[in-house]
Structure formats: C-alpha cells, structure tokens
C-alpha cells in the first residue's frame, strides 16, 4: 500500500514523520530558543549505540554569537551562501574509543555508524517540532579538527548541520531555488537484498 505526503510517495506505509522530514536550504534566520536546541540533543542521545557507548559529540553555535563565525568559516562557499540564514550551525563527530572506567580505551568500529543514528534522531525531532536540519559534507575537514578543538587520534569529524525554520525559497540565490523541494528516494529493491548483495 503506497502512501503520499509532502510530494513524496512511500512504497509501504510508514509514520508520516519520515515523509515530512527533508533538508531545506531556505531558512528564516530567526533565533532558535536554546530550549528547542536542547530538545534536539535530547532526541539524539536516545539513539542506539554499541555497548550503549553513545560516542556522538556535537559542537554548536547559535547565529550572531562569536562561535558562529568560527564554525561558519569552515563551510565551503556554496554552503555558506545559504547557511548564513540558519539559526544554529553544528558539527557532529564521534569518539573512536569505548571508554569504561577502570579499563584502557578500546577502539570501537561502529562509532561513525552510531553517530549517524544520533543525527537521524536529531533531524526527525527537528522536523517534529517545526524546525528543519540539513546535514552537509561540504566543509574543510582538515581545518575542522583545530577549529572545533578535536584531537583526530581520539575523535572523527563527520558532518556539519544547519538548523532553522523553513522560509520561502525566494530568500535563496536563483540557482538554489529549483532544488528547494523534498527529494524522492530510490526503490527498496535497489538497496535491500536477501542473502547477498545483488541477490
């Protein structure tokens, strides 16, 4: 049974939040109450993780604060052109090690996988409470470690995330306006296989 919402069609019925959530670039620039941001982090920290290690870390800045400029400067110009209207900019990273009191840190192969789950929870909660979160890989990864105060031997930086209220696409440069619609998805048959890949 298909389901259509927000210009998207699901092959099978799912909770509407999955079709409602998308990654806009047009933001109003309004301030985000810190309490709302904490609600996003509350959702993120309920994500599953190996041994309940919770390896995700977020470094964030509200717009018009000193920290904003440091984070914003890491983005490539293309992303700066629209993130300038976001309310909050953050970076997600993860601890490469499992840390248990009384034991030496042990490498955790799934740290990035677990951080991805936290990002997904955050993005869904943003959509649920009337905000939008847009993840990005377009930033200066090499410079990000020093700028964010991250030891590359201990943590890995994964992505930048812009959060804001959705605005009219007219706030965007003309080249971006045509892309300001919820994107579709590949058919399930293109990525789910029984027994072996491509089987």
Q: Provide the pLDDT for residue 1.
A: 77
Query: Is 199 a residue whose pLDDT tops 70?
Result: no
Q: Provide the pLDDT for residue 161.
A: 99
What is d(CA 133, CA 23) in angstroms, rounded to the nearest whole number? 6
Q: Please name the residue ranges forming H helices in 129-196.
A: 141-148, 174-177
Residues 43-54 pLDDT 10s: 999 999 999 999
Pairing of strands 97-98, 88-95: unpaired
Query: Is 123 a residue whose pLDDT tops 70?
Result: yes
Residues 159 and 106 sit within 8 Å (Cβ to Cβ):
no
Does the pTM of the predicted model rise above 0.85?
yes
For residue 137, give the DSSP letter: -
Residues 154-185 pLDDT 10s: 999 999 999 999 999 999 999 899 999 999 99
Q: Round to the nearest angstrom and report the end-to-end CA distance of the chain.
A: 24
- 3-class secondary-structure state, position 190: helix
Q: What average pLDDT does the chain have?
A: 96
């Amino acid at each position: 049974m298909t389901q259509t919402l927000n210009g998207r069609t699901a092959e099978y019925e799912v909770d509407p939040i999955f079709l409602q959530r998308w990654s806009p670039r047009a933001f109003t620039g309004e301030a985000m109450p810190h309490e709302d941001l904490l609600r996003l982090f509350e959702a993120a920290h309920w994500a599953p993780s190996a041994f309940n290690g919770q390896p995700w870390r977020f470094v964030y800045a509200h717009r018009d604060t000193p920290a904003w400029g440091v984070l914003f400067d890491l983005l490539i110009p293309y992303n700066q052109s629209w993130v300038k209207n976001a309310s909050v900019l953050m970076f997600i990273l993860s601890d490469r090690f499992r840390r248990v009191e009384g034991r030496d840190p042990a490498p955790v192969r799934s740290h990035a996988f677990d951080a991805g789950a936290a990002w997904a929870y955050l993005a869904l909660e943003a959509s649920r409470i009337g905000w939008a979160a847009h993840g990005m890989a377009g930033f200066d990864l090499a410079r990000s470690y020093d700028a964010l105060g991250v030891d590359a031997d201990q943590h890995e930086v994964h992505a930048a995330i812009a959060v804001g209220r959705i605005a009219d696409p007219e706030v965007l440069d003309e080249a971006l306006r045509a892309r300001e619609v919820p994107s579709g998805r590949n058919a399930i048959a293109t990525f789910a296989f029984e027994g072996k890949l491509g089987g």
